[in-house]
Structure 1
Amino acid sequence: MSGALNITSAIADPGLLDLPWNLPLESWPEDAITALPKGISRHLVRFATLGDYVVAIKETSSELARREYEMLRTLQRLDVPCVEPVAVITDRVADDGEELASVLVTRHLRFSLPYRAIYSQSLRPETATRLVDALAVLLVRLHIVGFFWGDVSLSNTLFRRDAGAFAAYLVDAETGQLYDRLSNGQRENDLEIARINIAGELLDLQAGGRLEEDIDPVAISDGIVDRYRTLWKELTGPEQFDQSERWRINSRIERLNDLGFDIEELAIVTDDTGTQVRIQPKVVDAGHHSRRLLRLTGLDAQENQARRLLNDLDSYRARYGKPDADEEVVAHEWTAKVFEPVIRAIPKDLKGKLEPAEIFHQLLDHRWYLSQNESRDVPLAEAVSSYIDTVLRHRRDEATIFNPATGTFTAPIDVEGDWRLNV
């Protein structure tokens, strides 16, 4: 690296100085690049290793790089699922004096994949539906905080496993705008952009023979509209009922909690006769179960994973006759006697296969199937041994899907966890 360089960074990582910023991104040598699957992008994107983590580097204009960097930092403060901004690097100059494009550096999301990598020989209908459902939830979360995306697509999203479903994360915020509140027109505009882009992406896969024959790309893309509107209505829509049905207030709160959202405030209005009640919830961002699990146990998990772990914690509380015990005391005991021993039992060479919370979720499923097949209550220790030998040992690592030492890319993964080479 030579010449002046302007680095704006949220972290102090001297490793940024070791990358060949004096070369156009397309000319970076192989030893500076990490092989990872990536989605379609209008900009050139490369991956590189910084210490023990991976970063994505995108060439763009200095104005757009700075704008997206600040937008991603704002979204993080709002607790929106998105990639972490690392740095903006401007004033890049080649050795021959040529000015080079500025870059935005973001941290690669561990255990995540672009949608094109979440299939093997072909994309299954149920997988396509789960991806679109996850994107619908992300879009609702963004709209609740007032973010207009402007370029909603599968390509601009990363996906992580979440207890049988997927959790979606925003990758590209270049076209986004943040408002105090979005109008219905802005929300519908984003939704239409999503529908058109998803249809185009799936039709592209179809043209390449990557969709199963019974998948209708247009029908799948239309699904995001129904899923979004149903979720938006449940989260923000008013509800009216007779005053004798006041139990429906708690029922509404429970449904919102089940969707992963907390209530900031609840507007309750009665009519002049006092017989009708109208409620209007004001929800805060998703993550109800994740926050509860983090508060009780210190474990950081995806929303569905957290729900599953909390269910097991509640079962533990009931199973050992401690319904009146302090919740935090029981949670500490469950973590020490159930969760942590399971994770410690995983051999060191298998720990990169899945996130700990996903391992525990899959273990619970495996134990249930064993118990059903054998018509007995299979002990946890026995289920752990069986899961390690018959399931986990045969998976490929999802931590990064590459070998940090060699930069060797490995095959994408489908929804069932089977790895096959895409050619």
Structure 2
Amino acid sequence: MQFATGPDPTDLLTLPWSTPLLEWPKDRLVVLPRGISRHVVRFVRISGTVYAVKEISEGLAQHEYELLRELSKLGIPTVQAVGVVANRMTPEGEPLDAALVTKHLRFSLPYRALFSRRMDADLEPKLLDALAELLVRLHLAGFAWKDCSLSNTLFRRDAGALSAYLVDAETGELRPSLSAGQRLQDLDIAETNLAGELLDLQMSEMLPESVDPLETAMSVISRYERLWAELTEPQTMGEDEWWRIERRLRRLNELGYDLAQIQINEKEGEPHVLVQTQVVDAGHHRRRLFSLTGMDVQENQARRILNDLDTYRGQAVMPDTEADEDTVARHWMTDVFQPVIEAVPGHLSSKLEPAEVFHEVLEHRWFLSEAQGSEVGMDAATKSYVENVLRFRPDEKSFLEPSLMGLGPMDEDEPEDHAVDSDPDTRS
């Protein structure tokens, strides 16, 4: 067996590896919403942690394991690869496929789960934006997915938006960079897969009548192309137009990207300067917040929290002084963030991630202040949010029907739903 370092391998050794996944006992499994998969996938809970186990050939399992770990090192949002179990065999000596083990991404949902309840009036553009951005990030890293689809993606809430995570990488290839032709091939596959999945939702009457599957699939490619151009296109400018470069750098930062370098090429006989920017991995705000507070959150959440932290610095701590960011951040964590999170009762704490709760409290406070015509304090806003909003939010996983997940009706080999509800650590 091959596992990543850490506490996981010892716990995972207790699973019935000599039994095909289809025959694993119900008491070892939990039911979680998942996308459509060509392989057998089961979720297990060990010591409060939920793992996804996928039965697959050893070669593909090793390939996907290595790719997921490499992508994680590059800062790409993916599920965490834990290990590969190879050379599996039944007690009768029959060989079994290998198993790829990953950690379940908490507070995440597959696209079918999101569409099944229409949890957000603006869900469709958020989901499509998230998928397009994930594909751009993968291509910037030199990864050809070759099977981009909604089924191979998980989504997490990110300050009102959605963030997309790669789940399935078995068909992918990681190169130093991708050619235009390789990117176009990936986009063609993505458009075909997306159209098919949305047509399936339409056949299941889970897609609003106003949504056209083919146009929607094409719109993801348009979103991709706009973002790709913003991040990679050269820019021509005059000698007195350096402000345009500064404006572009600000736009890149607002999108969550950092700049590695600027390459300047002045064409002979041409009074303009051709500027080629080189963009590195996304996560500008996320990295800044982590360095200040130690919190590892989504990019939009980090941007929202940093805005509040900057406001706190200017208004509450040391106005008109040059207090360093680290000192301000420590005061902000103690005075603002932690009181909000601690005010959430334990039985409601699994509904949303702490960073998403804080974002929603800030939004709720703004609406309360608008309605009242005066500033509402954080304590009052938090109390109102918990009592009037959070309490009534659905547990986005526990109420979903298995038939809506592309799983079909539950049969005798499937675990019962109550296995999920009994443990808040497995709730989305």
Normalised to the residue count of structure 2, the TM-score between the two structures is 0.90
1:103 counterpart SS class: strand
Asked if 1:54 is matched to 2:50, the reply is yes
Query: 2 CA distance for matches of 1:179 and 1:125?
Result: 39
Q: Cα gap change, 1:52/1:408 in structure 2, threshold over 3 Å: closer, same or farther? A: closer
Q: Cα gap change, 1:121/1:355 in structure 2, threshold over 3 Å: closer, same or farther? A: closer
* Corresponding position of 1:101: 97
Query: 1 CA distance for matches of 2:417 and 2:127?
Result: 31
- Residues 113-140 of structure 1 show CA distances to partners (whole Å, capped at 9, x for unaligned) of 1111113445877322221110110011
Query: 2 CA distance for matches of 1:322 and 1:294?
Result: 25
Shift, 1:275, TM fit:
4.0
Query: 1 CA distance for matches of 2:280 and 2:60?
Result: 29
**Equivalent residues in 2 for 1:157-176 (5 A)?**
157-176=153-172
* Corresponding position of 1:306: 302
1:244 counterpart SS class: coil
Query: 2 CA distance for matches of 1:193 and 1:117?
Result: 23
- Candidates 25, 29, 38, aligned match of 1:29: 25
Identity of aligned residues (%): 50
**Equivalent residues in 2 for 1:202-221 (5 A)?**
202-221=198-217
Shift, 1:26, TM fit:
0.6
- The one-letter code matched in structure 2 to 1:351 is S
* Corresponding position of 2:420: 408
Q: 2:148·2:186 contact (CA, 8 Å) conserved in 1?
A: yes
* Corresponding position of 2:322: 324
* Corresponding position of 1:394: 392
Shift, 1:39, TM fit:
0.6
Query: 2 CA distance for matches of 1:360 and 1:9?
Result: 33
- Candidates 214, 219, 223, aligned match of 1:223: 219
Query: 2 CA distance for matches of 1:137 and 1:110?
Result: 21
- Candidates 342, 348, 352, aligned match of 2:350: 352
- Residues 329-360 of structure 1 show CA distances to partners (whole Å, capped at 9, x for unaligned) of 21222122111111111122221111111001
Deviates more, 1:339-348 or 1:207-216: 339-348
* Corresponding position of 1:3: none
- The one-letter code matched in structure 2 to 1:352 is S
Shift, 1:12, TM fit:
3.9
Q: Cα gap change, 1:337/1:12 in structure 2, threshold over 3 Å: closer, same or farther? A: closer
Query: 2 CA distance for matches of 1:121 and 1:379?
Result: 34
**Higher RCO by CA contacts (8 Å cutoff, separation 6 or greater):** 2
- Residues 213-263 of structure 1 show CA distances to partners (whole Å, capped at 9, x for unaligned) of 111111111111111111111111101111111111111111000010001
Q: Cα gap change, 1:137/1:192 in structure 2, threshold over 3 Å: closer, same or farther? A: same
- Residues 124-183 of structure 1 show CA distances to partners (whole Å, capped at 9, x for unaligned) of 773222211101100110101100000000000000001111100000000000111100
**CA RMSD, Structure 1 to Structure 2 (Å):** 2.2
- Consecutive unaligned residues in structure 2, runs of 5 or more: 401-414, 423-427
- Consecutive unaligned residues in structure 1, runs of 5 or more: 1-5, 411-418
Asked if 1:371 is matched to 2:369, the reply is yes
* Corresponding position of 2:260: 264
- Candidates 84, 87, 96, aligned match of 2:83: 87
- Candidates 52, 60, 63, aligned match of 2:59: 63
Q: 2:56·2:98 contact (CA, 8 Å) conserved in 1?
A: yes
Shift, 1:193, TM fit:
0.9
Q: 1:36·1:401 contact (CA, 8 Å) conserved in 2?
A: no
**Equivalent residues in 2 for 1:264-303 (5 A)?**
264-272=260-268, 275-303=271-299
Query: 2 CA distance for matches of 1:323 and 1:160?
Result: 38
Shift, 1:60, TM fit:
0.7
* Corresponding position of 2:412: none
Shift, 1:388, TM fit:
0.6
Query: 1 CA distance for matches of 2:310 and 2:384?
Result: 24
Asked if 1:38 is matched to 2:50, the reply is no
Deviates more, 1:165-174 or 1:243-252: 243-252
2:240 counterpart SS class: helix
